[in-house]
Amino acid sequence: MTIHREGYRSLLVTLAVLLTVNLLAYGSANRTINWWVLAASTLFFLLILQFFRSPRRATVLDNKHVIAPADGKVVVIEEVLEEEYFHAYRRQISIFMSPVNVHVNWSPVEGVVQYFKYHAGKYLVAWHPKSSTENERTTIVVKARNDVEILFRQIAGAMAKRIVWYVKEGQPLQQGAEFGFIKFGSRVDVFVPLDADVRVRIGDKTVGGQTVIAELSE
């Protein structure tokens, strides 16, 4: 287990603030207060530290599989009209990431990035129905080797204030490769063809880069 590069600055800032708080508390003659502040600071830093963990994942490559782009819980599976790129109906599979989940994002399929766009927006809670269209978000479309286009969308939540992406249009992307990171609570939507076989159910836990969430038809 390693620490993700996106966490270095946040961890240094957090550490500096906590050290300052503890130094101020140390000036108190009350030893009980000193120990409580130290314990709370240590716990808080460990919580931030675990958030930025970056596990190594082995992805089983398969052109027919759409894998989970994130750790989390499946909160939406429904047929929707995707209006930004397809302008047609697709099956939406949404994965909610809580603050205790790994927040690295992995590519669901292998192919070439056909479309990318960043949208500034609101910070509604990630499970809100309108977060997919009104929150800060990115939209990425990858054309897989079988010419099927898969759209996936990083969505900021109420706590997430920064979406990071590492892709651009025309870039080849390997299945299971890291394509981005979202700081704190957030969500990723995946849009697959209506004839795809969805392999997960509402409430299922996913492992990013490994869990098969859908299988594409021949």
pLDDT, position 210: 97
pTM: 0.83
pLDDT, position 138: 94
CATH annotation of 65-215: 2.70.70.10
pLDDT, position 63: 92
Closest CA to 76 of 182, 190, 217: 190
Classify 64 as helix, strand or coil. Answer: coil
- Options 94, 98, 186, 217, the catalytic residue: 186
> What's the CA gap between 140 and 10, in Å, rounded?
26
Classify 184 as helix, strand or coil. Answer: coil
Instruction: Determine whether 98 is an active site residue.
Output: no
> What's the CA gap between 213 and 107, in Å, rounded?
12
Beta-ladder partners of 79: 91
Any idea where the domains of the chain sit in the sequence?
2-54, 65-215
Residue by residue, pLDDT tens for the chain (218 residues) are: 687 777 678 778 888 888 888 887 776 667 777 788 888 888 888 877 777 787 888 899 999 999 999 999 999 999 999 999 999 999 999 999 887 888 899 999 999 999 999 998 665 655 555 556 667 889 999 999 788 999 999 998 665 557 889 999 999 999 999 999 987 668 899 999 999 999 999 999 999 999 999 999 87
